[in-house]
């Protein structure tokens, strides 16, 4: 038989016998470190903190309840109209601030029940050696005043109020018409009642000797057929202290002789006084209308006045260039015009042509 070797067991490490070992010193117990605050459970609260939280929660509840009660009370009182408007609340709550905004009130002065009479001031009888010069009062414009005897408006007032030609002649200029023509005209009788004169313009002529004042008179009843208003010229001359109404201007505007010329194609020229309005454009059915300008004639300067007639002249003519230079188109001015029928350009389409114009506005 084959002898198998017996495995050798490892030697066990045995501690040396107790009696041969050194004595071991006793170990001290190290106390465990105190737990950090984070180790303290969250549920742990001090008694004082609990009481403070209870008080705070109770205060907020009370405040919210009071606010709610105030709002409800205000709504109820507002519904019953027992509370003032919201704008007056600050003045009710803070009356002192309201007084400051208004400003300090003047303190009332105590009156003396027994006032002392004032000391009489001695009157000086001797005039001062160097009296102050008195400022001259401005002289009213006679163009606007009724109270001045020798004013244009006063003369116009007497002219309109006169009942006969004899009473009216002292306030009229001497025109080109004869005495018989004047007696057969409307100047020989009374005029209908009129409204106060409307001032139009005042012109001083180039010679500075005469002044022309223009008024528009509106009558309550027609002065003549289709004549409800008329522009009147009053002339003030340096040689005559009494202003006078221009007789020829008055009768030309009243009678409007250009209207009779519209009915009669006479080759003779006609000169008359009128109110003129110019226009640089022409759309009428006349020869060479695209190069023509127009003059429109009126009885007065009112914008609502109906035109009496229309005459034409070339846009490049010296007459229209002078008129355009001194007067704005569309503006009405007084003037003397000479017109005649033009039958040569197109006999089938005759038209009134302007051959002369004069006006104080063009000088």
Categorize the per-residue pLDDT at 49 as very low, low, confident or very high, splitting at 50, 70 and 90. Answer: low
Q: How many domains does the chain divide into?
A: 2
275 and 352 belong to one structural domain: yes
Strands 210-218 and 198-204: antiparallel
The pLDDT, as a whole number, for residue 210 is 82
The pLDDT, as a whole number, for residue 128 is 47
In a domain, 30, yes or no: no
Out of 197, 223, 253, pick the residue that ends a domain.
253
* Residue keyed to tokens 């030309």: 252
Which residues constitute the domain of residue 235? 152-253
Categorize the per-residue pLDDT at 224 as very low, low, confident or very high, splitting at 50, 70 and 90. Answer: confident
Res 311 pLDDT > 50: yes
Out of 210, 236, 253, pick the residue that ends a domain.
253
């Amino acid at each position: 038989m084959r002898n198998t070797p017996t495995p050798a067991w490892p030697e066990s490490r045995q501690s040396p016998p107790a009696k041969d070992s050194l004595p071991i010193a006793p170990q001290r117990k190290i106390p465990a470190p105190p737990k950090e605050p984070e180790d303290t459970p969250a549920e742990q609260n001090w008694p004082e903190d609990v009481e403070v939280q209870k008080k705070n929660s109770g205060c907020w509840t009370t405040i919210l309840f009071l606010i709610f009660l105030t709002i409800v009370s205000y709504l109820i009182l507002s519904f019953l109209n027992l509370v003032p408007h919201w704008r007056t609340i600050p003045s009710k709550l803070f009356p002192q601030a309201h007084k400051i905004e208004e400003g300090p009130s003047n303190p009332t002065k105590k009156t003396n029940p027994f006032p002392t009479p004032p000391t009489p001031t001695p009157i000086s009888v001797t005039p001062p050696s160097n009296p102050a010069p008195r400022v001259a009062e401005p002289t009213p414009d006679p163009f606007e005043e009724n109270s001045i005897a020798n004013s244009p408006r006063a003369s116009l007032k007497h002219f309109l109020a006169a009942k006969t030609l004899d009473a009216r002649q002292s306030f009229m200029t001497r025109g080109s018409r004869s005495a018989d023509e004047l007696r057969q005209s409307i100047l020989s009788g009374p005029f209908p009642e009129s409204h106060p004169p409307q001032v139009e313009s005042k012109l001083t002529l180039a010679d500075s000797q005469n002044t022309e004042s223009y008024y528009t008179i509106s009558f309550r009843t027609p002065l003549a057929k289709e004549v409800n208003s008329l522009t009147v010229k009053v002339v003030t001359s340096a040689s005559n202290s009494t202003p006078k109404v221009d007789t020829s201007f008055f009768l030309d505007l009243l009678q409007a002789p250009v209207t009779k010329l519209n009915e009669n194609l006479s080759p003779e020229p006609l000169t008359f006084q009128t109110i003129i309005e110019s226009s640089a454009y022409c759309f009428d059915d006349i020869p060479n209308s695209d190069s023509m300008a127009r003059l429109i004639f009126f009885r007065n300067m009112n914008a609502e006045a109906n035109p009496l007639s229309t005459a034409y002249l070339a846009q490049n003519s010296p007459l229209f260039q002078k008129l355009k230079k001194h007067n704005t188109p569309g503006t009405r001015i007084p003037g003397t015009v000479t017109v005649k029928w033009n039958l040569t350009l197109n006999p089938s389409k005759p038209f009134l042509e302007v051959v002369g114009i004069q006006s104080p506005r063009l000088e």
